[in-house]
Amino acid sequence: MVGYSAPVDAGTGPVEAEDATGAAVDFDGDGKADLVGVSTDGTLRAYRGTGTPGTPSIDGGTVVGTGWTSITRITVLDADNDGKVDLVGRASDGMLYAYLNNGNLDFSTRVTIGEGWNGVTRVNVGDFDGDGKTDVLGQASDGTLRAYLNKGTPGAPNISTNAAIGSGWNGITRLAVVN
């Protein structure tokens, strides 16, 4: 028989319905998973993991950015291959931005890395070409699945090289990357 413990309340904060594109990431280097979330007023907050074994918890959140109202999707990856996890945000106008992690939860450096992403309905990340760099996977509304290969260098994210890797995916409503 398999048993599960009762759920533990890990805190409250902005709800990101329909967005499961990121991964548990340790932004502050303390060995515990942290969260980021955007409030309705466009404030970006980082919620640091503060739990101990058997007692998950997060702090009350720290404001790490403003002006995120137009960002409709956030995912995490090392966009510029400098060893620090960055944020990638898709804006409502279809622009795709990398917010570079400058350390100490500073994501103030924004770099445009794509346009025309308003037709992309699903976004995931993973190493799709086996080069050890995290790429971006986009599922378009027409059912095309494209891998955007990470060719970034420190300070200069680049996912402009892309390849269609499938079609007919418009009937798929949830997509997860399994390694």
DSSP track, 108-155: -EEEEEES-GGGEEEEEEE-SSSSSS-EEEEEETTS-EEEEE---BTT
Structure confidence at residue 97 (pLDDT): 94
Query: pLDDT digit of tens for each residue in the chain (179 aa)?
Result: 343 334 444 444 433 333 444 456 888 888 899 999 899 999 999 999 999 999 999 999 999 999 999 998 898 999 999 999 999 999 999 999 999 998 888 899 999 999 989 888 888 899 999 999 999 999 988 999 999 999 999 999 999 888 899 999 988 888 788 86
Q: Please list, in sequence order, all residues whose beta carbon lies within 8 angstroms of the beta carbon of residue 140, skipping any fewer than 6 positions away.
A: 119, 120, 121, 146, 170
This model's pTM is above 0.85:
no
Structure confidence at residue 24 (pLDDT): 67
